[in-house]
Amino acid sequence: MYKLFLTWRYLTRRLLSLVAVFILMLAVAVLVVAPSIMSGFQSEFHKRLRGNLSDLVYYGSIPYSVADDERIKTTIESYPNVVAAAPYLENPAIDKHLKKVDYVFLRGIVPEQEERVTELRSKFISEAEKYRLLNDYRLQKPERKAEIDEICELMEDTPNIERIYRELMGGHPDEPEVSTCVVGIYYLKRWKLDIGDHARLTTASDEGEVEQDREFRIVGVYRSGQHEFDRRVIVMSLASMQEFVKVPGRVTGWSVKLKDFNKAEQTKQRMIEEIRYGSLRKIALRDEATGFFIQTWEERNENLLKAVAMERLLIKMMTVLIVLAASASIFLVLFMTVHSKVRELGILRAIGASKLGVLSLFVGQGFLIAFVAMSLGLLLGWGFATNINEFAAFQFQFTGWHPFPPEVYHLDRIPVQFSLKDNLWNFVITLSIGSGAAIIPGGMAALKPPLKAIRYD
């Protein structure tokens, strides 16, 4: 019983013990927050990449070398593991606004077919949501938020997707002769545009001719959650883009949605055989000598996914090193305790305490410091990570600096994902380190002869 009493007394009556608890608590909080944010980034990248891309993509090695043929769609959709297939056409372009010029990427699609292979329909936003995003609703003061909410009450709460599809395919009733497009929310914000305004685009055709200053009316806004995608990708109908780029009857490739992604490799092999030797051999490509690729969304973004995974691993290693360094404070506190309590420890041994008892006294103190610090660190880390977007918005509001700028991380919110398994491992590791740090000072105290300890000056 004396061990518990002395362990608690040494912890609560010595300022250095409380300092050790505070330092280790901060280290554990970092160990909770940093990996949780990186796990959130990794999960969010996977989720948003999958939402913007189909499971499989088939495209030619030469631009516009794949046929826009209904027989390709029919053949691919006949496979047991395929849900749907949709054609797409991509091309870079120059975007002109007064004297400013920037680059964008054009994507031509058939909306009703595209929504079956990607999450296109869920990406469109309403007038009210668009207004909030353009006015940085999350970063505003309460008075300004109230004003924005009052204005948004007069706007549509849900996007009119049927109207967007109709105008994307057939043009706007007020300007039937002008081609239409859909842009991302950050494109509107970058150029201070709105629905109904025009984008002036210049691109190169298949023959290398430059198509100058074609105007496209903006009829809808989407929000994918990826900052760069929402700023630079302009979506239009496949027919409009084929006419713009002068590639009638041809596309960049076909997007494919699978029933079971785990069977993607089998579906890829079947498509390869069909294009090389089967019914698609004569129609899939403009020229039989042209090469082609079939890739999953993971293969197309392999380097990005590896970079995110590696960054998460490095941050976890760094935070573990921080905990190790902070655990040194336990060693120092207990080491100083041994030297300042030599006489008391000698008396304790003289009245019957065993070497193991003295050792367990110090190991218990190290364990208690680690346990208290770990518990407080978990609570602190969880609270900070849960409200990290509010902290970031508060800091941006008062300093103008955002710790996670969306143009760098391509996300409009800081994602956080807690892992019970990781936190349990953190708990075990911290307690083990805390107890281990106490073994050397405890051993020094246990091995000191009682008579010499009592006469220690």
What digits encode the pLDDT tens for the residues 227-260? 888 999 999 999 999 999 989 999 999 999 999 9
Runs of H (alpha helix) within 53-172? 70-77, 111-114, 120-123, 127-134, 142-152, 161-170
CB 441 within 8 A of CB 336: no
Confidence class of residue 358 from pLDDT cuts 50, 70 and 90?
A: low
> Residue 69 burial (CB < 10 Å; 0-12/13-18/19+)?
middle
User: CA Rg, the chain, in Å?
Assistant: 32
CB 269 within 8 A of CB 58: no
Q: Does 26 have pLDDT greater than 80?
A: yes
State mean pLDDT over 357-383.
Answer: 77
What is the reported pTM? 0.72
The predicted pLDDT at position 315 comes to 76
Q: Which range scores top for mean pLDDT: 3-7, 205-209, 383-387?
A: 383-387
Q: What is the mean pLDDT of the chain?
A: 81
Contacts of 63 (CB under 8 A, 6+ apart): 91, 206, 252
State mean pLDDT over 268-282.
Answer: 86
Q: Does 39 have pLDDT greater than 90?
A: no
State mean pLDDT over 370-390.
Answer: 85
State mean pLDDT over 388-409.
Answer: 73
The predicted pLDDT at position 322 comes to 74
What is the token pair recorded at 257?
């949605």
